[in-house]
A and B are shown apart, each in its own frame.
Chain A
Amino acid sequence: MYGNLDALVLALSQLTQPISLALLIGGIVVGLVIGILPGLGPPIAIALALPFTFYLEPVPSMILLLGIYSAAIYGGSISAIAVGIPGTGAAIATVQDGHKMFKSGRGGEALGFSLTGSIIGGLVSALCLALVSPMLAELAIKFGPREYLAISVFGLLVVVRVAGQSLPKGLLAGALGIFLTTWGLDELNGTERYTFGSYHMYEGLPLVPFLVGLFAMSEVLIGAERALQKIDFSKESLSVKLPGLKTLGKMKDVILRSSLIGTIIGIIPGEGAAVGAFFAYSEAKRRSKHPEKFGTGIPEGIVAPETANNATVGGALVPTLTLGVPGSPAAAVLLGALLIQGLSPGPKLFTERPDLMYSIFIGLFVINILMVFIGLVAIRFAARLIMVPTSVIVPTVMLLCFVGIYSVSNSFFNVGVLLAAGILGYVIRKLGYSIAPLSIGFVLGPILENSLRQSLTIADGSVTEFFNTPIGLVIYAMLILTILWRPLMEWFKRAKTN
């Protein structure tokens, strides 16, 4: 389908252009910096870089964002190990063993394990992305409205299930996100819906300002709360000691398993890097001969979550690129970048822009390889970054959000949307809601509405016709299995012990 040599050559020529190489390296550096700074995770890192992609061609812009995405996830582990404060949610599982190793004088080793695990996880998931996504795209090309409806329902409900501890709260946030996409002109018949007499609202709430507001602006407001907190850290510089092949050989099972867990969890819509890391950590502990040593500062406790969280990057790109359904909040922002470029993610993208697909696959490999060298250098400067006060980060990020969003369209309306989304994100986060279902709902809303209305038209109003599709049935069955899996396993466990 997309396997023509011309596209591959074109991708390579675009990737080797000086601008692409500079952005690739720049993306990794920016991602590492933002990942190290506590509180600013991958979605915020990508959101802040989004406006810059407006001035770039699709390939360099995707390379920049992928570099930021991968490096930000890895960067979070550095502050997790050094100060016990995870730079990102994905690094929370790393704190337990990483910081213990650091405190016992084995910080260099701990940083080496996290870097190596991250690189291997990233490479494995990039390979899976390159192998799985073309096959899935080939299948997805046959999808009609009913299948897209099933995929969207699946994506949304899975996000709701994993986001936060309360299902009704997750559903409320998801439904709110979908509702907000109904603002603007009705795509099917041109009816004005919630435009409030403003021509700005004809196209609805703009995606990029909404997502940047939701992630970055809300984080700014939350960051202001802990602006005066002091970090107990006095090191001038950090060093890293990479593990030898013999040591890695002993952990090959943990590495391979965590890579696959991360990739698979990344593919499931909504299950982000943090879930992957925790799952891999608990799996490594469960299968270990010495599970009691986990949490006391052992290499496996770092390698498992770090391998898995970086493996979610490639996994999350599979549904994003092939179906247009984001695999994680960060992938939702990445999807926004494709829309900025005038590209609609989905199976057709593989036939329309095979060079872009090749560039993404190859780019992700190169990013992970370069991250070894850049990561080794970055760790030396990480001590200084960790010491950057939150009070400096908060106003700078706010200004970046303002200017970045304004620069995309020279529109104060978009800045207003950014601000409103930031306030909404802040309020719901403070009230214990997760912003993941809201953001995914906002991305999936138009797909859901269009596929639902088209499906009903095709089925002549009959709801049972929704299920008269083999692919749709498989997706619904997977959804039911996903929802019932945990209760069923617990039930089996209880039955076994009784």
Chain B
Amino acid sequence: MLSQRLANIVFVIVVLVACVWFGVIAEGFETSGLLASSGLPSKFFPQLTLGLTGACAIIVGLLYALRGSAGGDSGEMVFEEGAQARRSLLMLVVAIAAYFIWKNFGFIPMAVILGPLSLLAMGVRSIPIYLTVLALTAAVYLVFTRLLGVTLS
């Protein structure tokens, strides 16, 4: 289920593309006025760290491409089984969905949906667990709104 080698090589490519893209953007950092000639230019440090990130990414990529591992993870998988991958990726979708539900429809719809959706994503079927999570959701809401006086819109 997706080897560390393949996943890391893909990640390295993504990092390298991102480094180039951010490096090009940094070229456009211009300081106007009197401060323009003072000290190092604003693009120096971002490009320095991007260079370091890119160099490390190349080394990691080469290690995976040539040796098959970096740090003793030869032959290891990113996910032990398909169900694991499905649960965490569905959870990720739930988290993103919750953010947009909150932003567009308000806090209470998000809070009510978040718990049951998360449990569904994890494949939980026990009714007491659903009820416990809903009770904890209510407790979190009450602590923040009543005790701390936060307005959760």
Contact = CB atoms under 8 A, between A and B. Distances in A.
A associates with B: yes
Given A189-B31, A189-B42, A227-B87, A392 B129 contact: yes
A395 B133 CA distance: 7
A224 B95 CA distance: 12
B109 interface: no
Interface residues of B, number: 72
A148 interface: no
A427 B11 contact: yes
State the main secondary structure of chain B at its contact with A.
helix
B91 A224 contact: yes
A399 B40 CA distance: 43
State the main secondary structure of chain A at its contact with B.
helix
Interface string B10-35: 01000100000010011001110001
A267 to B, nearest CB: 26
A485 to B, nearest CB: 20
A56 to B, nearest CB: 10
A439 to B, nearest CB: 16
Contact of A400 (B22, B50, B140): B140
Interface stretch (A24-32, A77-85, A411-419): A411-419
Contacts of A169: 56, 60, 70-71
B63 A168 contact: yes
Interface string B119-153: 10111100001001100110011001000101110
Interface of B: 4, 7-8, 11, 15, 22, 25-26, 29-31, 35-36, 38-40, 42-46, 49-50, 52-53, 56-57, 59-60, 63, 70-73, 76, 78-79, 84-85, 87-88, 90-92, 95-96, 98-99, 102-103, 110-111, 114-115, 118-119, 121-124, 129, 132-133, 136-137, 140-141, 144, 148, 150-152
Given A171-B56, A193-B42, 20 more contacts: A55-B148, A166-B70, A168-B63, A172-B15, A179-B49, A186-B31, A189-B31, A190-B31, A193-B43, A224-B122, A225-B87, A228-B122, A391-B129, A398-B98, A399-B137, A403-B140, A419-B96, A431-B7, A431-B8, A453-B40
28 contacts: A166-B70, A169-B70, A175-B53, A176-B49, A179-B53, A186-B42, A190-B31, A194-B46, A220-B95, A221-B88, A224-B90, A225-B87, A225-B88, A227-B123, A227-B124, A391-B124, A391-B133, A399-B111, A399-B140, A407-B148, A412-B102, A419-B96, A427-B11, A431-B4, A432-B70, A452-B45, A456-B40, A457-B39
